[in-house]
Amino acid sequence: MEVMGWGRYPKTTAELIQPADSQALQKFVSSQKKSASCIGRGSGRSYGDSALSEQLVSSRFLDNFLELDEQQQTLRCGSGVTLGDILKVCIPRSLFLPVLPGTKAVSVGGAIAADVHGKNHHLDGSFCAHVKQISIVLASGELMSCSEQENVELFRATCGGMGLTGVIVEACLSLASIPSSYINQKSVVARNLKECFEHIEENADSKYSVAWLDCLATGKNLGRSVLYLGDHAAAKNRKTDTMYRERSGLGVPFSTPSFLLNKTTMSVFNSSYFALQKRKKSSATLSCDDYFFPLDGIANWNRLYGSNGFLQYQFVMPSESAFEGITSVLEKASENGKGSFLTVLKKFGEANENLLSFPESGYTLTLDFKNEAALFALLEELDRIVLAHDGRLYLAKDARMSEEVFKASYPNWERFMAIKKKYDPDNCFTSLQSNRLGLTP
């Protein structure tokens, strides 16, 4: 069958394996020939080729809830459970996931493998900071438990390890208590990138923080933006304010013609959006879906970029070089006429000890680019800017980074490979991405 990531680039043909339970998964893995390769696959929400291989091991049937301890605020569940599934169960109990990415469709296994982050990394770290224990099927077929206290090296390699250490079958997660299912949002308009940085720093104590940027604005308006701050709203009615309200939105039924996405149409969209946000009220109370997952309200929104798909380019730079580096990236993208509807800026807190986790102290910028031949030369130029400012790219969004760029920006890659070799000496678990980056030679 033909498979692809959320960015719809690249595409490949693979065999889909759907084990009914962990025992079936163990049997499949232990019977693998040394020449065969596979990778775990959850909801298919990584953007590039990190979950593409000859064989894809689906977590579709590993979607069971095992134990919810409301008093200890922990949840044990299968790796195929999505974050949206968890919110449906937990919000009515005034419990919440401490870290949420931009979509609730991500599986628990995928969230761990990518060590996803949210709008509150500056305060609460990434997803795996709240993972208490993982059960993983190794290349030998053995089911092993790991955590910050048990088999620690496997834990550090698995969190953010893009599925290369084995297939996650279940996990125990820490939860957080919340007063209601609503978020008080405050929006702050910034006339340029400098103002945006200043506003983010001034509001560093806000629980959630994310900025939308007009990536095609130039000159004195370069980086003009809207910063969205959020905090959990107090409950006015305990019964109704902890209800989970799932949106039903529109969908994109087919891929739009690629020629409709050009510098002119994106400039009009970005300018109109910025003008609209300037006129709107600066304060609002939103449901958690509206605040955390605005794009989930548009089913199959990835089709808007056309049948060739798109590439999402996300990088992080240390605080001391981030303003200069992000300015250079925005200037280069605008100069090449490569606009993005969705350009997002966030602040990161301190890095964790996971070997291939993406976040480090500084700022991260995300841009979406329509897939076209002229794009790849631009992305190589952006890579050079990122490296020159001691930054790195996010593996969960990557579809074309070179081995040289990866190894220059992830200092723990050799330690990761040593642990992988220990637990997977024949490279049973490989992906198109790991082959490209030299992690599975």
Residue where a domain stops, chosen among 127, 158, 178 = 178
* Strand stretches in 214-276, DSSP E: 225-232, 250-251
Residue 211: its pLDDT value, please? 97
Residues 194 and 263 in one domain: yes
Residues 199 and 162 in one domain: no
Contact (Cβ atoms closer than 8 angstroms) between residue 109 and residue 98: no
Contact (Cβ atoms closer than 8 angstroms) between residue 65 and residue 77: yes
Written as six digits, the tokens of 389 are: 């400012």
51 belongs to a structural domain:
no
Contact (Cβ atoms closer than 8 angstroms) between residue 1 and residue 43: no
36 belongs to a structural domain:
no
Q: How far apart are CA 397 and CA 391, in angstroms?
A: 15
Residues 366 and 249 in one domain: yes
CA distances from 276 to 193, 282, 336 (A): 19, 12, 26
Residue 441: its pLDDT value, please? 76
Residues 190 and 161 in one domain: no
Residues 366 and 248 in one domain: yes
Residues 197 and 342 in one domain: yes
User: Model pTM?
Assistant: 0.95
194 belongs to a structural domain:
yes
Written as six digits, the tokens of 227 are: 């910063």
Question: What averages of pLDDT result for each successive group of 10 residues across the chain (441 residues)?
Answer: 95 96 94 86 96 97 97 98 97 96 97 98 98 97 98 98 98 97 95 97 97 92 95 77 65 63 73 74 89 88 86 97 97 85 93 98 96 94 98 98 98 98 96 97 76
Residues 282 and 360 in one domain: yes
409 belongs to a structural domain:
no
380 belongs to a structural domain:
yes
The runs of H, that is alpha helices, within 219-365 are 263-279, 288-292, 319-335
Q: Which residue range(s) make up the domain with 138?
A: 59-178
Question: Which domain CATH number covers 162?
Answer: 3.30.465.10
Residues 268 and 314 in one domain: yes
Residues 210 and 139 in one domain: no
268 belongs to a structural domain:
yes
416 belongs to a structural domain:
no
3-state secondary structure of 146: strand
How many structural domains compose the chain?
A: 2
Residues 166 and 205 in one domain: no
Residues 253 and 290 in one domain: yes
Question: Which domain CATH number covers 219?
Answer: 3.30.70.2520
365 belongs to a structural domain:
yes
Residue 260: its pLDDT value, please? 62
Identify the burial level of 250 via C-beta atoms within 10 angstroms of its C-beta, where 0-12 means exposed, 13-18 middle and 19 or more buried. exposed
* Strand stretches in 34-127, DSSP E: 38-41, 55-58, 65-69, 74-78, 95-96
Residues 171 and 235 in one domain: no
DSSP letters, 307-333, are TT-EEEEEEEEEHHHHHHHHHHHHHHH
How far, in whole angstroms, is CA 134 from its chain's centroid? 19
